[in-house]
Amino acid sequence: MILVFSLKCKIFLCAAVLADVWKVDVEVNMEALVSSCVVLPCNFTYPAQQQPSDRIRAIWHKNKKWDDILFHRDSTLIEDNFKGRTKLIGSLGSLSCSLEIDEVKNTDSGPYCFRVELETAPKDKYSFVDNCVSIRMIEEAPKPVLEAETSVLEGEPAVFKCSVRYTCPTYPPSLTWSRSGNIISSYKDLGHGNWEAETLLTFTPTKEDSHTSIECTVTYHGNVKGEMKASRPVFVKAKSYDDDYTNTADLNVEISEENPTCQKKTVDFTSG
């Protein structure tokens, strides 16, 4: 019984050690739109009792360059190039270490590494230099993706869809249409640090809409360059009726002394 109990204790202790380790979860490859912003997703764990945010020190630094700091709560330690451009997103007490970089420059490619220091003991600190983040810079924004049917039917609701992808959920892009209608906008987390903004335009076309165009415009956070508009031509097909469709009309004829044989009749008219 003692041997079995001892074995169980060893298994339990081993599992506990494996669970309580220094660990970080980041996306090692990200994309960023120059002049806009980017959020580097980050979550971490540490082998100590969970601490409040004010007892955890978060640092982001360049890989293999410990003194090149892009985020620190002591702003005097931040490299001049990053001062005022970085901030943490989320709560350190909730084990979130996501970093926002604003006014992205084409030199901000990284790699960047996260370091955590606990105020529990001098040895409670760790730099995750094996899990650093590199950023691929996008110099100009691609135009929005605009989807619609080649032609629409007069008098029937038509739906146009416009979307863009982005990597800065703190400042999502806005999408607008060149005409009015019922508009529904949404934002979707695609995972791995990627997001999608989408807008649906629904309107009822008339024959006057034929040979016009629908335009979708995207506005990003920051002074972004690129193709901000996408357009699609509108071709409206006239609504047709089935040849066998019939309209029924009632003809009422008064009976008079001169025409005693007249009666109420139902006559079918067929639309041509």
Predicted local confidence at residue 67, as pLDDT: 85
pLDDT in tens, 54-95: 889 999 999 988 889 999 999 999 999 999 999 999 899 999
**Stretch 136-149: mean pLDDT:** 94
Say yes or no to pLDDT of 115 above 70. yes
Which range is least confidently modeled, 60-64, 171-175, 220-224, 255-259? 255-259
Predicted local confidence at residue 241, as pLDDT: 57
Predicted local confidence at residue 194, as pLDDT: 97
**Stretch 168-189: mean pLDDT:** 96
Tell whether the torsion through CA atoms of 134, 83, 24 and 38 is positive or negative.
Answer: negative
Question: In the numeric block, which tokens belong to residue 53?
Answer: 């945010």
Q: What percent of the chain has pLDDT over 90?
A: 63
Predicted local confidence at residue 149, as pLDDT: 83
CA distances from 153 to 92, 148, 197, 199, 208 (A): 55, 12, 27, 21, 12
Predicted local confidence at residue 113, as pLDDT: 97
Backbone dihedral angles phi then psi of residue 82, each to the nearest 5 degrees: -110, -5
Say yes or no to pLDDT of 260 above 50. no
Instruction: Name the residue among 231, 228, 230 with its Cα closest to residue 36.
Output: 228
Band (238; pLDDT cuts 50, 70, 90): confident
Distance, in Å, from the CA atom of 261 to the CA atom of 114, rounded to the nearest integer, reads 101
Please report, for the chain, how many H helices and E strands are present, in that order: 1, 22
Say yes or no to pLDDT of 245 above 50. no
How many CA atoms does the CB half-sphere of 15 hold within 13 Å? 6
Report the 10 Å Cβ neighbour count for 53.
13
- The larger pLDDT score, comparing residue 42 to residue 67, is at 42
Band (255; pLDDT cuts 50, 70, 90): very low
- Classified as helix, coil or strand, 170 is coil
